[in-house]
Structure 1
Amino acid sequence: MNVTERFLKYVSIDTESDPNSETTPSTAKQLNLANVLVEEMKALGIEDAHVDRYGVVYGTIPGDAKAETIGFVAHMDTSPDLTGANVNPRIIKNYDGKPIVLNEAKQIIMDPKDFPSLHENVGEDLIVTDGTTLLGGDDKAGVAEIMVMAEALMSQPRSAHGTVKIAFTPDEEVGRGADNFDIKGFGAEYAYTVDGGDIRDVNYENFNAAAAVVKIHGLSIHPGAAKNKMLNSQLIAMEFNALLPVHEDPACTEGYEGFHHLTNIHGVCEETTLQYIIRNHNEEIFERQKQQFMNAAAYLNKKYPEGTVECTITHSYTNMRSYIEKDMRVIDTVKQAIQDLGMTPISTPIRGGTDGARLTYDGLPCPNIGTGGYNCHGKFEYVSIPRMEKIVELLLRIVENISTHA
């Protein structure tokens, strides 16, 4: 199968992860794709292909032992920000640069004025949604690209390339993709997550990340007899959010600027829960952002009865930059491959995170490269077919270059 065929097959499988689940993986349906990938890998001749008890898929493409063993990683799950079920993709041939009507009945239109990346895709074949779901390019484009690379390498003699490890993780979108990753068993000296956008981009800077859960405890009293008694947790939740700096909302930030983002709020008079993510490239500012949450909780616990507000902050992942910069060969290797394909490499800070950040922190250098996908986490998501094909070329060139230097 080519990369388009694989991609369309994979996006037809619902793999949405669930941040509120305590299971591993967070949703059993992610295993549906995991099992498909294991079957396909075995059909290619990858004998050790398997999915472990945590839902991580592993496999080895045997090669010349004299070359470095490298790895490629992508994640199987899709974001819970919008449903990934019943995806109805459509291929637009030779995109003409005009607004794309995703759904005529619902008047959902993707306009280049709102999404300027489309200007770069004129003349390319694009895969888009019908405006009611995610497409799943994040990160099934990466999964498809790695699988096509694997198919190509398995058709070559082992002596033609080094050993290549591949892995597909669950739950990346809810910050748990690398929680149970077996780095030692994986056996790569370094790896790349294939989970970005621009095909020229090599990302080795990402946010420091944390999650905050704020629980507001109120007191529900019949409104007819509530004077001086009722404590409406929903109103206090609104107060809490208003205490946070408004300019640190993600809609106000770009580049290296961090943010806090309210991802979920639900409640009634008696109790309300707010869920946030906190992000910053700068560790010192990141710590200050987290303290702002604790300060807001402390203030409200003085204004209202002690214990009214509970704020719990948990660390998600760390900026990989300081670890990668200790040995830039992992970056130089992919930049050379990008140049070999006639492109100029760039490095931009990721305004998000990847499994690679956690893997790097845990000892496996793992920067991120593009997939040819755009506008992830929303109904305007799309992928470029020629750019997905170019990434397959890039992965193969990385392997080739490492092999020739053995």
Structure 2
Amino acid sequence: MEYPNLLPRFLKYVKVNSRSDEHSDRFPSTKRQENFQKEVVMKDLENLGLSDVHYNQKSGCVIAEIPSNIDYEVPVMGFLAHCDTADFNAENVRPQVHENYDGKSKIQLGDSDFYLDPEVFPNLKKYAGKTLITTSGDTLLGGDDKCGVSEVVTLAEYLMNHPEVKHGKIRLAFTPDEEIGTGAPHFDIDEFGADFGYTLDGAAPGKLDWGTFSAATFTLNIQGVNVHPSVAKNQMISAIQVGINFQNQLPADEVPEKTDGRQGFFHLTDFQGTVDNAYLEYIVRDFKRDGLARRKNLVKDIVTKMNDEFGTERIKLTMRDQYYNMADELEKHMDVVNLARDAYRKEGLTEIDEDPIRGGTDGSQLTYRGLPCPNLFSGQENMHGRYEYTVLESMYKAVDVMIRMVEMNATNNK
């Protein structure tokens, strides 16, 4: 089904900079995403006539309710999408709309020197005849997760305007700081009031994520000894070289660019330094909890060994867990997964990709906190950079699936 307001809504949303900031000491991490939630999303929900539309300052979430239109009780469903975008330029986003793409040509990104090339990005070949929305080459698009935000708002619009679609109470949440992993711990599950939920934060139609990495992050602060190079022998300790020596003790092939499927990795995401001081930031991923623990222990052992060799704590390690593989918990709630599976099939999506996602969503943390929350596709492609794009027909299908799910929740529990 086509939804005439979905594309203009999406184009409006992506033009608003709502990027989060992992180095911020406030919550939500940026005022700009809070402004997007309050001044754009919340106002749109109020204009649609939803109930209980409000901003929860403690959780940093916009919450709203689509009231039940049936006279019996069914489990309360929730749909969630995050409002922040990733750590790539998000200022002055100029989305480009390409109708009836031929599935084989390069797409120039605005007037830049960058192109979407089907030989580089083969998924493009699947979208002949479709409408693609791309970047202009100098920013990200923000489809992660403004695809999901637009789709959830469009679901609300459709249900409010079509009372013939029977459904129970539906709770909606628009969350902050998903990209930096700090939003979900603040989420107020009791106030949300859903029995189970779904995040709209995934890739192409047919993708159903109920397994994810288990994840941790760590930083190294390295204190060197800086003296003049002319007298450096046996005195200078280069913090940069210490960082390099640490990196070289990690498994060389266990990095994102050399792994796929169910293989985990160590990923150095930031390295800043001088001879005097260096700072390294890593993420660690593994699908098994014990595998994550082994990786963390390897890091601790390397740091301990190097500090012992220095005879002092020259390397300071800070480590924290981010989220765990939601499959460990969702296996206890397969009815929630099966509802999505059945809706996919009824909407013609017979090839369902349930391979664990090599990432995580708010649903990873919320599932462990007691709100079963698989992740549905939203039509994102090439997330987090200038080559990001989405497909309008994929976004339509995401709304179709949600409508089907709310109907099935009402009829299956009658």
For 1:159 and 1:68, locate their aligned partners in 2 and report how far apart those are by CA, in whole Å.
17
Aligned-partner Cα distance in 1 for 2:99–2:235: 64
Spell out the pairing of 1:205-354 with structure 2 (5 A cutoff): 205-344=211-350, 345-354=352-361
- C-alpha displacement of 1:227: 2.7
Structure-2 residue corresponding to 1:44: 48
Single out whichever of 350-359 and 211-220 deviates more from structure 2: 211-220
Q: Is the 2:42–2:54 Cα contact (8 Å) retained in structure 1?
A: yes
How far is the alpha carbon of 1:105 from its aligned partner? 5.6
Residues 121-171 of structure 1: CA deviation (Å, up to 9, x unaligned): 121110001111110010000000000000111123398211100001110
> Corresponding residue for 1:86?
92
Provide the secondary structure at the position in 2 that maps to 1:74. Answer: strand
Deviation of residue 305 (structure 1)? Answer: 3.6
How do 1:2-401 residues align onto structure 2 when only pairs under 5 Å count? 2-35=5-38, 36-53=40-57, 54-63=59-68, 64=70, 65-80=72-87, 82-103=88-109, 106-157=112-163, 160-344=166-350, 345-401=352-408
Question: SS at the partner of 1:98?
Answer: coil
What CA distance in whole angstroms lies between the structure 2 residues aligned with 1:46 and 1:158?
17
Deviates more, 1:23-32 or 1:299-308: 299-308
Q: Distance in 2 between matches of 1:117 and 1:295?
A: 42
1:233-261 superposed Cα distances (whole Å, 9 cap, x missing partner)? 01111111111101111001101111111
Gaps of 5+ in 1: none
State the AA in 1 paired with 2:41.
Answer: L
Measure, in 2, the Cα distance between the counterparts of 1:135 and 1:239. Answer: 37
What TM-score results when the alignment is normalised by the length of structure 2?
A: 0.95
Output the amino acid matched with 1:306: T
Distance (whole Å) between structure 2 residues aligned to residue 95 and residue 70 of structure 1:
36
Residues 210 and 200 of structure 1: is their aligned pair in 2 closer, same or farther, counting only changes over 3 Å? same
Deviates most, 360-369 or 302-311: 302-311
The answer as to whether partners of 1:102 and 1:128 remain within 8 angstroms in 2 is no
Per the alignment, do residues 72 and 24 of structure 1 end up closer, same or farther by CA in structure 2, a change over 3 Å counting? same
Matched letter for residue 12 of structure 1: K
- The whole-number CA distance in structure 2 between the counterparts of 1:125 and 1:103 is 15
> Aligned-pair RMSD on alpha carbons?
1.5
Residue ranges of structure 2 left out of the alignment (5+ in a row): none
Aligned partner letter, 1:353: G
User: TM-score scaled by structure 1?
Assistant: 0.97
Moved more, 104-113 or 176-185: 104-113
CA distance in 1, matches of 2:133, 2:110: 17
What amino acid is aligned across from residue 26 of structure 1 in structure 2? S
CA gap 1:304/1:372 in 2 versus in 1, 3 angstroms: same
Distance 1:382 1:159 in 2: 31
1:49 aligns to what SS in structure 2? strand
